[in-house]
Amino acid sequence: MAGSAQDALPLLPNSLGVVAGWGISNLNSSSVSGDPLTSDPVADLGMTSDLLQYVKLPVVSQDECQASYTSRSISYNITDNMFCAGFFEGGRDTCLGDSGGAFVMEDGVSQRWVVFGLVSWGGPEECGSQRVYGVTPESPNTWTGSRNRFKLPLVVINDL
């Protein structure tokens, strides 16, 4: 048996992972009303999906992840136990309502899907904006041992 999942499948830049969720799929067609500090943006938009959706996202280098959030007017702290995923040019992305969904990658050796973290947050810009990556805490440093508990058998659905 190979070592831990972390040893078998490192988070390398450009590695593709999959996130699934019922989050908002078209933020551009609506606007949030009310007090942004007390209102629920997902409920206000009322646009969460009735169908489970998924998106394949590449892991972003730690340097690019930190640089993209350092350049913002609001202070963001990307720590070493977090990683970013998304496309520099934007487009496909997670959005409001997807938080808590697992970021998974297939381990080529064991043929199992491994949870690397849970979708957490992104910048204040619209979902899918250029150089606005989703930020995910890595599972080993946030919930000790979870990576091994959440190994799942490989299930291919429509050849993700």
Q: What domains sit in the chain, N to C, each tagged with a CATH number? A: 5-153 (2.40.10.10)
Q: Is there a contact between 96 and 23 (Cβ–Cβ < 8 Å)?
A: yes
The tens digit of pLDDT for each residue in 105-119 reads: 988 888 888 888 899
The secondary structure element, H or E, covering residue 42 is: helix 41-45
- pLDDT of 148: 44
Q: Are the C-beta atoms of residues 72 and 59 closer than 8 Å to each other?
A: no
Asked if 118 and 136 count as a contact pair (C-beta separation under 8 A), the reply is yes
Q: Are 101 and 11 spatial neighbours (Cβ–Cβ below 8 Å)?
A: no
Condensed to tens digits (0 to 9), the pLDDT of residues 25-82 reads: 765 544 444 444 455 554 445 578 888 999 999 999 999 999 998 877 777 888 888 8
| Longest distance between any two alpha carbons in the chain, whole Å | 54
Q: Taking the model in full, what pTM does it have?
A: 0.71
Least confident of 38-47, 94-103, 115-124, 139-148: 139-148
Q: Identify the pLDDT of residue 159.
A: 37
